[in-house]
A and B are shown apart, each in its own frame.
Chain A
């Protein structure tokens, strides 16, 4: 390693690799610099100006996500000046749209008190669907941002909900650009971009059309990337349910062979939302429309709930004992009369390894046949 390749961060000498930004070096060394617009895996935009740090010799604060580390750079990541700048930027963001969660008039010192107060005071209907998982809210609390002096902007955008999966509410959009990065650089679906200029700036799909009429494929990458309540899964919209309340279980997507890692958000015995697991492959947080929005079948009323036995040409419900006995008896009889190779078993590409193992063991050791296959070829 070249001896020159050091930067000094908060008084500590840290090695960096060519191409790393100040933020990269900090993250690698466990130094927390708050970010809002920064999206891992995409090129930095420096749009939100929250990750500001001081670099010795530079007149202005710099965005750490977009500034490459350079030899002998001296960086400070926290200082009154930095805090003040971050707070100011947060206040501007809060004032830029309909951020009507309690954070606006908050006077409380701690997050927990704030939570309790909010839960008590707000009625579900009005609550922003991102409540409690909003990055802006979290940072506003941390930095005591209160845009008292700044009047909230009137909202000019109606909510767009004319597609089955994604609600777009631009009155809450802070134009951080994470969704644009997610769509163009991570999924490379190229469905959305910045449109218009200045105060009219807005995220648009194909000349400002609803998503259904654009190239959007409803992968929901943008929804997962949105740090506020501007892009929300439709299933979560207007339910009054707080995202915080769901239990999260990590598992594997049941659809294609990519095997994306997913988190099921479970509330009241139902899957209420699905998110991609950011930390590991193969998907690093990405999902497709099926993996993110296609889980209704699990809680569907048509699910089979009782064993069925055919009586004539109709089914009747049966007890497990009756059904299992019948299966065991009939398979046994046919094996007896016609030999084991008159029996066959289709195992499945849908069930687990453990279940497949037992299925083939059953066919071979119990039925006594190698007539076991699954429909992967089909």
Chain B
């Protein structure tokens, strides 16, 4: 997030899109609800489902799946046409407005209505509302990124925010909500194929040599590596031969699971390090038992870039070992001695090698966390990014055209399917499905379907229904719900027994390599 969570209460207008906030980030959603009910902020929700937060919204924009670039361009069209943008901000802090203007010219509300299904006057009203606010905050999540046009969607939201001078102001910002506790930290730490810690590029010669020296090795590979989805693909093709998986469960979370399954089975050697024998661990040659968050010391970095302590409360069960020790021991056995006394010692090394984490030390995290960038031991941290200028100079507008999703409904597969989560479960359920209470509240997979579609297929609530896409088929129970809009059904992806990802499309966003989980075509049939 460019802005801290607390800032949400300072926003005058909040635009939420592609985030089922109340279910997936419940505590953050309370900030939104308080902004509306207590501080009088206006709320715009753009989402294909009538999710719970819509109850608090002034405007609900219901776009067809995968048409985000179009409605965002449409909002900008209105804002430019009516001269509602922040001219001074645009002139002093950004470049590229002319190209943007040219591109969005044809995205009139009427044209956009044809693509997105959003009524033209509603879009106009939303555009005026957003542009009229002194500070407006955009919140988004996977509903924006999990598309073949995910990168375009994100850039479009950034365009909209910059156009109205909403980046680098209190109560504003473009704020991605991270789904998992330490996604932010995993990225910051270089858990990505193209960067070291703090986003220092592996193909930047200076960074590469600095790291090699710090780590005491002759040289480091200088070419960016493969992303997770590409690794699965290469495993399928036989080029990737060994995989070491720590704490992930791609056997439920990957798109097009049937394909992922074949890929993992094709590996010569698979090591999985986890706290349970997950679907993925079952495929492994060696399983290494590690410890849960409650049994370890360390730090997580949350969605607002705040580095916070994790503290050991319990002893691990049986012989389970700390993840960091396991990695260090394998490393040492492979001839590279890794010797640390504690996670704190590792953080000292991180601080030394990472400008944005330079001032992060455990003794400073005792009572409260610190937002990076934190560039020195007396630097207070940076809750709000881009305050006086963009970190990288001027903000650049990207002129972006709408592209259709990879797969659209047709005669054979006539319905749109989108996927997501429910409040009472989490990701692949490795953790939440061990709770009888949570299972009682969200026991099994369901197909959320609109009353209209249900009557067309003669489905009653709770009926068995077969859902099939070009890639696979599952059987679930129907749940008739006003959240669903005619023509689009929804499945939660948590459940291995009826894995939504047997159906989803593995088509990737060309830049971010994120699969299009949020759109595919299915047909359903009473089971």
A interface list, Cβ under 8 A from B: 164-165, 185-188, 217-219, 234, 247, 249-261, 264, 266, 269-271, 279-283, 286-291, 293-300, 302-310, 315, 318, 320, 323-328, 330-332, 334, 338, 340-366, 368-378
- Find out whether the CB atom of B303 lies under 8 angstroms from the CB atom of A258: yes
Stretch at the interface among B108-116, B159-167, B430-438, B476-484: B430-438
Which chain B residue lies CB-closest to A330?
B269
- Find out whether the CB atom of A282 lies under 8 angstroms from the CB atom of B431: no
Q: Could you give 15 example pairs across A and B, Cβ below 8 Å?
A: A289-B424, A303-B317, A308-B286, A328-B330, A342-B242, A343-B243, A345-B243, A353-B185, A353-B189, A354-B299, A356-B191, A359-B191, A364-B211, A372-B225, A377-B512
- Find out whether the CB atom of B226 lies under 8 angstroms from the CB atom of A373: yes
Q: How far is the CB of B25 from chain A (nearest CB, A)?
A: 5
- Find out whether the CB atom of B225 lies under 8 angstroms from the CB atom of A293: no
Give per-residue flags for B466-490: 1 if the beta carbon is below 8 A from chain A beta carbons, else 0: 0000000000000000000000000
Known: A187-B30, A349-B180, A352-B324. 16 other contacts (CB 8 A): A252-B308, A282-B28, A283-B27, A308-B284, A320-B329, A344-B226, A345-B246, A346-B244, A352-B296, A356-B191, A359-B327, A360-B190, A365-B220, A368-B220, A370-B202, A373-B228
- Find out whether the CB atom of A373 lies under 8 angstroms from the CB atom of B300: no
- Find out whether the CB atom of B317 lies under 8 angstroms from the CB atom of A349: no
The complex places the Cα of A249 from the Cα of B313 at a distance, in Å, of 6
**Cβ contacts under 8 Å, B441 to chain A:** 164, 218, 289
Partner of A217, one of B191, B242, B423, B432: B423
- Find out whether the CB atom of A378 lies under 8 angstroms from the CB atom of B254: yes
- Find out whether the CB atom of A376 lies under 8 angstroms from the CB atom of B244: no
**Cβ contacts under 8 Å, A340 to chain B:** 221
Partner of B320, one of A218, A261, A304: A304
**Cβ contacts under 8 Å, B306 to chain A:** 259, 281-282
**Cβ contacts under 8 Å, A305 to chain B:** 289, 317-320
- Find out whether the CB atom of A302 lies under 8 angstroms from the CB atom of B179: no
The complex places the Cα of A354 from the Cα of B306 at a distance, in Å, of 15
**Cβ contacts under 8 Å, A282 to chain B:** 4-6, 27-28, 302, 304, 306
**Cβ contacts under 8 Å, B6 to chain A:** 281-282
Given A264-B294, A360-B190, CB of A307 within 8 Å of CB of B308 = no
Given A302-B277, A371-B193, A373-B228, CB of A257 within 8 Å of CB of B178 = yes
State how many residues of chain B have any CB contact under 8 Å with chain A: 151
Which chain B residue lies CB-closest to A324?
B329
Contacting residues of chain B (16-63) with chain A, CB-CB under 8 angstroms? 22, 24-28, 30, 33-34, 37-38, 56
- Find out whether the CB atom of A320 lies under 8 angstroms from the CB atom of B319: yes
Give per-residue flags for B200-228: 1 if the beta carbon is below 8 A from chain A beta carbons, else 0: 00100000000110010100110111111
B92 proximal to A (CB < 8 A) = no
Give per-residue flags for B305-323: 1 if the beta carbon is below 8 A from chain A beta carbons, else 0: 0111111111101111101
The complex places the Cα of A320 from the Cα of B273 at a distance, in Å, of 13
Which chain A residue lies CB-closest to B278?
A304
